[in-house]
Amino acid sequence: VLAERPDDKIIVFGQWARLLQNVSGALADYGIDAPLLSDDDMTARSQQLDDFRQRCDCRVLLLSSQSQSSGVN
């Protein structure tokens, strides 16, 4: 998808933090930066969201469906 549509962005929701960490690591192996949105630090969370919205090289964002499924639009 990323290669075929270079301007699109992807948000991945997952139920388990460990799974999202594994996905982030697997994507990193392919050179894809996919930050896992921070639960604890609101400043870091805000920066990650800003990066995702504004940086053209930040195209994938990983979110916990339990703690972060609202308030990110």
> What average pLDDT does this structure show over 16-22?
91
pTM of the model: 0.77
> What average pLDDT does this structure show over 32-45?
83
Q: Strand pairing partners for 14?
A: 64
> What average pLDDT does this structure show over 36-63?
86
- Neighbouring CB atoms inside 10 A of 45's CB total 16
CA dist., res. 66 & res. 45, Å (int): 15
pLDDT at position 28: 94
pLDDT at position 46: 87
Give the CA dihedral 73, 28, 21, 13, nearest 10 degrees: 30
Q: Strand pairing partners for 12?
A: 62
pLDDT for 66 beyond 90: no
Contact by Cβ (8 Å): 35, 51 = yes
